[in-house]
């Protein structure tokens, strides 16, 4: 298994039946929706059931943390993926929205001990956002939805391994004895 979420190697599913929830901003929904669809496709291809991938929409990126917290507090949710887009504008509004979303998502993750993945794109232009959000087959260059899905699986695997006393970081061989 590759440790790079952008590689072509799909992470193996170590937690069958895992539930990964999504909180998706409706602001620029054409792009956040594309990221969501790509992430769901990747998770289903990795062995998860689409019924275990619930999603809720919120108006914008600033509102992502409160719904993420609600999901993260549920005992049946293993991880949460937050998807949003904040575009640079004529004022500094984008800075405050992005910082609020980022700080809130981090706080939720640490206070609930549940992985909450930050899928909030902060771009200068809509063209940059399209390049990052859309799958390659739809004209994108980076497919952040797929990347976030793979990262969620890798984080869940790392958490499972951290409970094991013989845990080793993914992608690194076990140490050899001289």
Write b or e for each residue in 6-17: b if 16 or more Cβ atoms lie within 10 A of its Cβ, otherwise e.
Answer: eeeebbebbbee
Whether 121 contacts 86, CB under 8 Å: yes
Residue with tokens 């904040």: 86
Spatial strand order in the sheet of 20-25: 55-58, 20-25, 79-87, 116-123
Active-site choice (28, 29, 36, 93): 93
- DSSP classification of residue 7: S
Alpha-carbon gap, residue 44 to 47, rounded angstroms: 5
Active site residue 28: no
Alpha-carbon gap, residue 146 to 39, rounded angstroms: 5
Q: Active-site residues: which are they?
A: 93
């Amino acid at each position: 298994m590759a440790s790079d979420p952008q590689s072509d190697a799909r992470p193996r599913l170590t937690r069958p039946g895992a539930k990964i929830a999504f909180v998706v901003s409706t602001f620029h929904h054409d792009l956040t929706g594309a990221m969501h669809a790509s992430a769901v496709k990747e998770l289903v291809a990795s062995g998860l059931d689409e019924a275990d991938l619930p999603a809720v929409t919120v108006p914008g990126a600033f509102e992502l943390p409160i719904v993420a917290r609600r999901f993260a507090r549920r005992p049946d949710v293993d991880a949460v993926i937050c998807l949003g887009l904040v575009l640079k504008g004529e004022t500094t509004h984008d800075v405050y929205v992005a910082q609020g979303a980022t700080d809130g998502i981090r706080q939720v993750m640490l206070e609930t001990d549940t992985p909450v993945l930050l899928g909030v794109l902060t771009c200068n232009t809509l063209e940059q956002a399209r390049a990052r959000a859309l799958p390659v087959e739809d004209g994108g260059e980076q497919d952040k939805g797929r990347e976030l899905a793979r990262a969620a699986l890798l984080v869940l695997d790392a958490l499972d391994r951290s409970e094991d006393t013989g845990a080793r970081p993914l992608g690194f061989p076990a140490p050899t004895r001289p």
